[in-house]
Amino acid sequence: MTAAVTERPGRAPAFCYRALGKRALGESDAVLHCDQVPLSRLAERFGTPLYVYSASTIRERLRAFDQAFDPAPHTVCYSVKANSNLSILRLLTREGCGFDVVSGGELERVLRVDRRAAGKVVFSGVGKTSVEIGMALQAGILLFNVESQSELQVLGECAARLKKTARMALRVNPDVPADTHPYISTGLHQHKFGIPIEQARALYRQAAKHKSLKVSGVSVHIGSQIADVTPFSATMERVADLVRALRIDGHTVDYVDAGGGLGIPYEGDGQSDFAACARKYARALLGPLRGLRVHLLLEPGRSIVGPAGTLLTRVLYRKTNGHKRFLVVDAAMNDLIRPSLYKAHHEIVPVRAHAASAKETVDVVGPICETGDFFARDRELPLAEEGDLLAILDAGAYGMVLASNYNTRPRPAEILVDGDSTKLIRRRETLTDLMGPEAPRSRRA
């Protein structure tokens, strides 16, 4: 059991160091906890690599985000692609959350958690198939965000065939630049997403002529991991102008889907007032929409679950090549690809922090046979020995959902911590799981 503890600021709000025993921090070692649970205990019980999430943090951040938009009618539609674990979706459903999905598989996840949640689902994405569209129509989702003229035609045909009415919005491309990684910027004319905003009125006229389509809103999304709210405000100015023009044209515009994209701090101690950030974001969106009387749809993902998760990994080997020092850990790019894919920064901290630990500059790398398999390069970290546990922070979003089985590596288990309780929400894969679909079935002669 953890004795009386003394907390030291670590990773707000879920991850912090606590002294084990009666002595104060600085006099003894401290162990990184998720809520009230030592991460070392979880590693011993469930092994590593291991994803650990804080349920309390997810709830707190969702509530702070939701409250920031209290001045206006709105629905928070969590972006399932950020982290699609069924237990996390169930947690969000209990908080009254809606969902933004980009595939039939993500929709199925929502329906398995609660079929009634379909009424708060928006379906985005540039490549919806007719099967996926039919599935969504049968489920009775709130809104289709249409991204091309061809998709509009397919949606109308599917709805007519099923004798359904499809509520739709066009996802418009406002050509607003955002300061983020080019792979996750989506609001410029050279990106595959959306319809040029200057072409929207003509396509809305086309949609209005189809008996099985109901024009219901305007949708926009300019990218992900955006820290400056200025592009959001500029985008809403253009959307507001379009809404006014569409109403002049005779369309009913009930919804504005503002997308997501609000970033989180990955570097440093992560100490930021998320409620204040959410209020600033809300002001940027709501200001241009004032007086339009629309229902705002919001699609946060990373900002809700990113800081709520960590990836635990164990040091396998220390290695030196000339002047370079390496920590070879048991997690790899197949478990968390963001550093390799985006050159993304994740803070890495020891699970057990020593009072007066020396520091060294190292590369933290995984076992995969790729030079790009790394979590940090030339990073100054406390001295770590073989067998020590490290925590890769802010891994709650775009971690497990992007994981793969490259090098025939089973994906990690996932744990949800709520206060002092823990729940295995996804077991670790086995080699049998990986090779099962390939195994030939026995045939009788």
**DSSP 8-state symbol, 275:** H
Q: How far is CA 221 from the centre of its chain?
A: 15
Alpha-carbon dihedral 93, 95, 101, 107, rounded to 10 degrees: 10
Provide the CATH number for the domain formed by 55-304 in this structure.
3.20.20.10
- Tally DSSP H helices, then E strands, for the chain: 12, 23
- Please spell the DSSP secondary structure of 351-378, one letter per residue: SEE-TT--EEEEEEE-SSSSTT-EEEEE
Q: What is the largest CA-CA distance in the chain?
A: 75
Tokens (6 digits) for 282? 């809300």
Please answer whether residues 171 and 194 qualify as being in contact, where contact means their C-beta atoms are separated by less than 8 angstroms. yes
Which residue type occupies 35? D
Q: Does this chain's domain 7-54+307-433 share its CATH topology with 55-304? A: no
Q: Residues with catalytic annotation?
A: 369
Tokens (6 digits) for 432? 């049998």
- Please spell the DSSP secondary structure of 130-173, one letter per residue: HHHHHHHHHHT-SEEEE-SHHHHHHHHHHHHHHT--EEEEEEEE
- Euclidean distance between CA atoms 203 and 188, whole angstroms: 19
Residue ranges of the domains in the chain?
Answer: 7-54+307-433, 55-304
Provide the pairing of β-strand 30-34 with 352-353: antiparallel
- pLDDT tens string, the chain, 445 residues long: the values are 344 344 444 455 689 998 876 555 444 579 999 999 999 999 999 999 999 999 999 999 999 999 999 999 999 999 999 999 999 999 999 999 999 999 999 999 999 999 999 999 999 999 999 999 999 999 999 999 999 999 999 999 999 999 999 999 999 988 775 544 343 344 345 455 689 888 999 999 999 999 999 999 999 998 888 888 998 999 999 999 999 999 999 999 999 999 999 999 998 765 679 999 999 999 999 999 999 999 999 999 999 999 999 999 999 999 999 999 999 999 999 999 999 998 999 999 999 998 767 999 999 999 999 999 999 999 999 999 999 999 999 999 999 999 999 999 999 999 999 999 999 999 999 999 999 999 776 555 4
- Euclidean distance between CA atoms 58 and 62, whole angstroms: 6
CATH class of 7-54+307-433: mainly beta
Helix (H, G, I), strand (E, B) or coil at 223: strand
